[in-house]
Amino acid sequence: MNAALSADEIQSLDEVGFVVVPDFFLDLLAPLRTRIDQIFAEEGDRAGSEFKQEPGCRRLANLVDKGEIFQQVIGHPRLLPYIRHVLGPSIKLSSLNVRSVDPMWTNSQPLHADMAAVADEKGFWVCNTVWMIDDVTPENGPIRAIPGSHRIRKLPADVLAEPLAPHPDEVLVTGKAGTVVVMNAHMWHGGVGNYTTSTRTALHAFYCRRDKPQQQYQKKLLRHQSQVKLSAELRDLLALDDPANDELCGRPHVVSGFLKG
Residue 142 has pLDDT above 60, yes or no: yes
Spatial distance between the Cα atoms of 197 and 140, rounded to a whole number of angstroms:
9
Q: Closest by alpha carbon to 117, among 208, 3, 27?
A: 208
Question: Which pTM does this prediction carry?
Answer: 0.95
Using the predicted structure, report yes or no on whether residue 7 has a pLDDT greater than 60. Answer: yes
Residue-level pLDDT at 240: 98
Residue 2 pLDDT exceeds 70: no
DSSP 127-140: EEEEEESS-B-SSB
pLDDT digits (tens, 9 = 90+) for 217-248: 999 999 999 999 999 999 999 999 999 999 99
Q: What is the pLDDT of residue 3?
A: 57
Q: Which of 2-16, 125-139, 206-220 has the lowest average pLDDT?
A: 2-16
- Alpha helix positions (H), the chain: 7-11, 26-43, 68-74, 80-87, 156-159, 218-221, 224-227, 232-237, 243-249
- Domains present along the chain, CATH in parentheses: 7-208 (2.60.120.620)
Q: Which amino acid is at 110?
A: P
What's the alpha-carbon Rg for the chain, to the nearest Å? 17
The side-by-side arrangement of strands in the sheet containing 143-145 is: 171-173, 143-145, 189-191
- Predicted pLDDT at 259: 47
| Span 32-81, pLDDT tens digits | 999 999 999 999 999 999 998 999 999 999 999 999 999 999 999 999 99
159: left (phi over 0), alpha (psi -120 to 50) or beta: alpha
